[in-house]
Amino acid sequence: MRSALMSLLTATSLPAMATDPIVLREFIATTPPTPQSHASTIVETPAGLVAAWFGGKQERDPGVGIWLSRHVHGHWTTPVEVANGAHPNGLREPTWNPVLFLPRRGPLMLFYKVGPDPQHWRGMLKTSGDNGEHWSDARALPAGMLGPIKDKPVQLADGTIISPSSAEQGRWTIHFELSANDGATWQTSQPVPNPDAIEAIQPSLLHWPDGRLQAIGRTKQDRLFSTWSADGGHTWSALKLLDVPNPNSGIDATILADGRACLVYNPTTHGKHWWDGRGTLAVAISSDGAHWKQVLVLEQASAAEFSYPAVIQSKEGRLHVTYTWKRLRIAHVVIDPQRL
């Protein structure tokens, strides 16, 4: 009887396990080094995954720095602060929104912002020649360049790096910063046409198999925006709203090896408070960038915040998603995209 019961349990439980796309759930740091953690980024290097985020007492506090952890021998290393807004005169400003990016010829880049608020922050850059273990001194990006505001750049076949950026001085606007020499110099794209006066920031770039680029991201209009480029990011189509809800919260997206696009986002609309709508974090899939289907819910809880995701597909094919977990920790979820 016991053997028959065990056989029945095995037969009924295996299909559910085999179809669950989530392979792993964990926190980057079981004991976070700061009271709050937010705005993570993740990259794959030859030595393994590297993740970073900003952490401190709370957002905008001068003590907020950029923290980083490397995935070594199956575990995340103890987070270390790798950048901050300290000045030689003792003044310290908060840091914001790190973005990790590894160009084909290296070195590993860490973009981030320093300043009292998003209206007055400045773009900064550090580099690492050993996959994130040691970092160069910080250098400011050229005047007028902010770097990738939240989500990772893409690199074209000719080596051009396209950085998705935005500004929040007055009306929110997006733009793109391009470098043809591995970040030594930068130029901006032509302004993105915006006949509908959509207020948009924090674009995420999709490099489709046909060579076109699409940028999607958050708006104040309760839906994601979209714009396309057919000339390597120099010019862009008019900004349009997608039929995808968004509560004015950051997203991230990537093109999968099978040609589909994967989006991680809050599939809701905003409420009375800025954090309303961030209690559900989901995954959607698209084959054309215009029509998106929600296929997975990563988190769902009332009066909670699960936000600011980052997503990449590793060389082995798995999706790695990091995101803010209640502002307290950075969560890491591994997904099998073949099950989406």
Cβ neighbors of 88 (< 8 A, separation 6 or more) are: none
Q: Hey, what amino acid is at 196?
A: D
pLDDT value at residue 267: 97
Task: Express each pLDDT in 198-241 by its tens digit.
Answer: 999 999 999 999 999 999 999 999 999 999 999 999 999 999 99
pTM of the model: 0.93
Q: How far is residue 223's CA from residue 240's CA, in Å, rounded to a whole number?
A: 10
Task: Express each pLDDT in 85-139 by its tens digit.
Answer: 999 999 999 999 999 999 999 999 999 999 999 999 999 999 999 999 999 999 9
Torsions phi, psi of 97, nearest 5?
Answer: 35, 70
Annotated domain spans of the chain: 23-140
| pLDDT higher than 90, residue 274 | no
Peptide bond into 153 cis (omega under 30): no
Please tell me which residue, 17 or 148, carries the higher pLDDT value.
Answer: 148
CATH number of 23-140, picked from 3.40.50.720, 2.120.10.10, 3.40.50.300, 3.20.20.80: 2.120.10.10
Determine contact, residues 339/19, Cβ cutoff 8 Å.
Answer: yes
| pLDDT higher than 90, residue 281 | yes
Q: How far is residue 19's CA from residue 141's CA, in Å, rounded to a whole number?
A: 46
Q: How far is residue 320's CA from residue 40's CA, in Å, rounded to a whole number?
A: 12
Task: List strand residue ranges (DSSP E) for 115-212, in order.
Answer: 122-128, 139-140, 154-155, 161-167, 173-179, 187-188, 200-207
Task: Express each pLDDT in 28-46 by its tens digit.
Answer: 999 999 999 999 999 999 9
- What are the residues facing 37 on neighbouring strands? 55
Structure tokens at 308: 């600011």
Q: How far is residue 283's CA from residue 290's CA, in Å, rounded to a whole number?
A: 15
